[in-house]
Every structure is written in C-alpha cells, then in structure tokens.
Amino acid sequence: MNIATAVKPAPSVRDHGRYILRRVADCFVRENYREIALGKIVAAKNAPFDRLIAQTEHYLAHEVPDGGTLFLPVEPDGFMQAWRVGAPPFVHVARQGARLIDSITEFLEIMKAGLEWEDSANISAFLTECQAAIEQGAICDAVRHRVSPAAQRLASHPEWHRAMLANDRLASFLDHPFYPTARAKHGFAANDLIAYGPEYQQAFRLAWLALPKDGLSVQGELPKQWPSFADVGLDPAHEQTHALMPVHPFMRGERMDRILAGAGLSDCAYMAPKDYLEVVPTLSVRALAIVEEPGLHIKLPLAISTLGRLNLRAIKSGTINDGHVVHSLLEAIRAKDAMLQTKLLLTDESGGAHHGGERFLAYIIRRYPEGLDACEPVPVAALMAPMPDGRPYALHLTDRYYEGDVERFLGEFCDLLLGVHLRLAARYGIELEANQQNSVLLVDPRGAGLRLLLKDNDSPRIDASALLAAFPGADAWTGRMQDARITQTDAAAAAQMLITITIQLNLGAVIEGLGRHLGRPGAYRRLLRTVIERQLDLLEREGIAAGPLRSALLEASQFPIKYLLRAATLESRKGTGAADVNKAYGHSAPNFLLSESGK
C-alpha cells in the first residue's frame, strides 16, 4: 500500500516535508553537526538577499564546503541551544546567486558536500528515514482525532487501563522533542503502520513459533492466556521437546525464516498455522497490551528502527535479566524509603524468555502494579500532544484537575519527578533511563496528588559504591547484572543521565513547550530552578550529600546534551566514541536554568 491509497483525504505531504526539514535543521544546530552552530548570526536586514524570503529577524550563516553559504532563519532560544531554527525556506547563496532551499533532499545534499564516503552514505540513508517520517506522518494524521478501532475490544477493561492506552495513542501522534524523524518506524510499510502502529491502534493476534526446549531460557510466570500447542494448530506431541514463543505477526515469513536460518533452527522450529492471543499496540510499538488480561503487556522484538537507523527494536537477552534485577532492587529500596514508597510505582518485568541469546527470538512480560484503579495514567510523552482545540493535553489536565492553574500543575509535576530522581541519584547513586515514554504520571481525580509509574528500567547507571554505602547488601543485586556498564559509573555519569533525561527531556521539553504555547517563552524556568533548589535542600536536611548535584544542575555554565541523531544515524560508533548510541553526549547545551528567565 502506498501513501496515496493509505491517506483519505490526503493531508499535504509538502507540509509534512517542510515540518521535517525544519526539525532536521534545528537538530543539526542543536547537535552542532559539521559545526553548523558555530556559524555567524546575521541580522536579516544585512542578509545578501531579500529579507522578505522568511519572517525572521536573524539568520544563522553557515559556510558550506561547496564554497557557498547556507542561511537558516533563527530565533533566540537558550533551552537546548542558543538559537532555534525557524520555518523554511532556507537560502543557499553561491557564486551563481541565491536559491531557496525548501526540501529535505536539497538541504541534505548541501550538508553532505565534502564528506568522506561513509559519512556521505549515512546522510543518504538518513534521507530515506526522512522520507519515511514524511509519509508516515501524513498517514497518521488521517486518523489523529478518530476513535480508536480497539476501543470496543477494550470496553470491559478497567478505566485506568483504557485511559492509559488512550493516552498512549494520543502521545503517538506527537514526535520526540529532540529526535527529528521520530515519526519514522523505519522498516514498516504503510500497511504495516496501519495494522500495527499505535496511531491506528488496531487489535490483532500474535503468531507463534515452537522452538526446541534445548537452548530456551525462561524466567518468571507465564500469562494465564498462554496457548497450548493445540490452540495454535500444532501437534501436541511436540510439547515434549518444544515450547511456544510468541512472535509479532510483522516478523512472520521471510524475516523469521532468515532469523531461524541464522540461528541454525530452520529444521527444528515450527511456525504455528493459527494465530492466538489478541493484543493492542502501545506507544512503544513492540509492547502490546493483552486484551484478555488487562494490565498485562508483552514486549516482542521487531525488525524496525526508531529514533535512528542503528536503534533496531530487538530484545537482547541481557536486558531480560537486568530489567528484572533492577526492578527487584528498586522494590527493595522502596520498601525502606517512605518517600519512594508513597510516590513511586514500578511495573514488574520479571517474566521473559530468549532462545540461545538470539535477539529476535525473545519476549518480556510486563505486569502493571495494584493501586491504579482511581487514577488516570498519563505518559509524559502525551503532555504536549495537541488536542482538537489546538491546546496541548497538559492544559486539558490542568483544567480538569487543577482548576486551570498551570503553575500549580507544573510545580507538582516538577516536584514529583525531581523528588524521585534526585533522591535516587543523591542517596543511592542510581539514575534511571526513564524517558517520556517510560515515565507515567498517575493523576488522582480525588486530589490526592501525583504519583509516578516507571517501566522498562533495564539500562540505568549506578554508582555501585554509593549504592552499597546507602543500601548495605545491594551487591546481591548488582552482582547479578549482566551489562557491566550499568555499575561501571560514577556520580558525574549519573548526573549526565539525570540532566539529559529528567531535566531536559521530561521536564524541560514540557515547561518550554507550554511556555511557547502560552506566548511566554522561558517563563517557567524559574519555577523549575526553584523546585530543584527545594528538593536539594530537603535532601541535605536529611543528611544526604547533594553538593555535586547542586553544582551540576545550578552552577555549571553548560549542560551535557545527547547526540541522538549523530550517534544513531549520521556518524559511526568510531566517530562518536560511544559504545551505546543512546548514551553519546556532547557538552554544548546551555544551562537554561541560568538564563535570564531562569534566574
């Protein structure tokens, strides 16, 4: 299926193209790709072309290797970068004169001039990703405000679970704040996106594969609805030697044939003729809600990439173990920490399996905790999602639960996330990779305040010595973690993750987005700084050393920044020096808490 047949009526693909062009250029400046952020700021009246080309007061002039100069309309920012890129067209000035740049193809051609072969090839691959983001954005816009096709199948679910899935779907229409082509599920065709994407949220049944028990590693409890061999149309006699592995239907056919051949299992694995177990996609695409068991989700590997072509959505065997160990550790800490016990909830991800370490023959079972009945779960990723009236969902929540008081909502939101994460970092040396998707606000309509639900905690950073000092016996957990990088860290590395995820992504993107929406850019920076100061003061009154975090958050002139696009798409691991594409950092972001609005 192509875009023309998938979208009725078709939104403007050109509009989506200009949207992606602006996001890509803005990301290039934010991550200083090819030192573009070091270009000269030129007043529009002094630009060597008609200033009416774009509604801007300033241009960023970047000299490109072809001998010309690329002019990007910009405006002052101070959050993640000094200057934000405005709406295209851009202008390329060369000896032949000035020409408008109004497409991602033209922009990337200019930016890849003079690159070595590998980096040039990366830019070409990124163009394909951009085109996928443009097309998939148009396809998804066609159903943005329609009722979920799965709503009827979920009608009997508890209200909290229906609300969570509805808010997941809402969040799926909003792009990641910093990765420019987050819309692209690279590897999905239009019909795959419609069948399996959270935007369309259609129910479907899982495929099943019988694998030899020899080589199968299983942990935790299976769901009640797990099928028998007869349920999926296989000979029950195979139960003696084989076990069933759920498979996302997208992976059936040639994709799975290649995986089985590579694992040497082609002659001893059996794809079941019948699908079984109805599921509904969630925000993460590969995590699926089981229709017959509300509150139970299953995470399956997919041969697609999101947030960069190197971010393949497989499941490493080590993450199954580490997610369970980290969850157990956090629950043990919660049991002895009154604040965390009150404000923090965790999903149980102790169940899962893999066959021989093969990353596409694996699954994880996620169980949601008790105590969610009287709340509305809202992923942080949904807060800035636009509603039909054009306002972000955060303002609808503010009207519903906070009598329209934006500062009261933001104050409680910042207090919650900072109270949890600063405590984990300062007292226990733990920083979780709890991004917008995995951080869920639990809003209590009775006015009992916000709580935080965290999931997918398989790749934190832990200062093992600090943890052991604060929580004797912690080595019973850290010693079982398979990814050595988790515990090979220090306070500075933990602060780096705290800043880039909690401060910039989860809190900063929301307060900055709301400020811009309300016509008050930067207005809530002071509020965030005040909450940080208050939470650090509370920790110090408990005798917990918070000086290093205070210095990193409130005194440093620059913040670290994740080079999401450079590490996951544009540059090789050798070029970035990052072992993990999701943890490649620069140090070029301004500390927006020191800006004039934040003082």
Kindly report the pTM of this predicted structure: 0.95
Q: How far apart are alpha carbons 548 and 529 in whole angstroms?
A: 16
Give counts: helices (H), strands (E), the chain. 19, 23
Q: Is 126 helix (H, G, I), strand (E, B) or coil?
A: helix
Q: How far apart are alpha carbons 183 and 24 in whole angstroms?
A: 12
Question: What is the domain partition of the chain in residue ranges?
Answer: 1-142, 147-373, 375-594
> Length of the chain in residues, anyone?
599
Domains 1-142 and 375-594 share a fold: no
User: Looking at 348-390, which runs of residues are DSSP E strands?
Assistant: 348-355, 362-367, 376-379
Q: Residue 311: CB partners within 8 Å, gap ≥ 6?
A: 305, 568, 581, 582
Q: How far apart are alpha carbons 90 and 467 in whole angstroms?
A: 51
Give 61-77 as a DSSP string: EEE-TTS-EEEEEEEE-
Contact of 494 with 431, CB cutoff 8 Å: yes
Residue 399 is inside which H or E element, if any? helix 393-401
Give the per-residue pLDDT at 580: 66
Give the per-residue pLDDT at 225: 92
Give the per-residue pLDDT at 579: 62
* CA-to-CA dists, residue 511 to 82, 448, 506, angstroms: 17, 23, 9
Contact of 540 with 546, CB cutoff 8 Å: yes
Q: Is the dihedral of CA 384, 137, 189, 567 positive or negative?
A: negative
In the CATH scheme, what is the code of domain 1-142?
A: 3.30.310.280
Contact of 244 with 229, CB cutoff 8 Å: yes
Among residues 71, 72, 70, 82, which one has the least CA distance to residue 111?
Answer: 70
CATH class of domain segment(s) 375-594: mainly alpha
Q: How far apart are alpha carbons 85 and 78 in whole angstroms?
A: 12
Write out the chain's pLDDT in tens, 599 residues: 544 444 444 457 889 999 999 999 999 999 999 999 999 999 999 999 876 677 899 999 999 988 899 999 999 999 999 999 999 999 999 988 899 999 999 999 999 999 999 999 999 999 999 999 999 999 999 899 899 999 999 999 999 999 999 999 999 999 999 999 999 999 999 999 999 999 999 999 999 999 999 999 999 999 999 999 999 999 999 999 999 999 999 999 999 999 999 999 999 999 999 999 999 999 999 999 999 999 999 999 999 999 988 889 999 999 999 999 999 999 999 999 999 999 999 999 999 999 999 999 999 999 999 989 989 999 999 999 999 999 999 999 999 999 999 999 999 999 999 999 999 999 999 999 999 999 999 999 887 789 999 999 999 999 999 999 999 999 999 999 999 999 977 777 888 999 999 999 999 999 999 999 999 999 999 999 999 999 999 999 999 999 999 999 999 999 999 999 999 899 876 666 666 666 788 988 999 999 554 44
Give the per-residue pLDDT at 578: 62
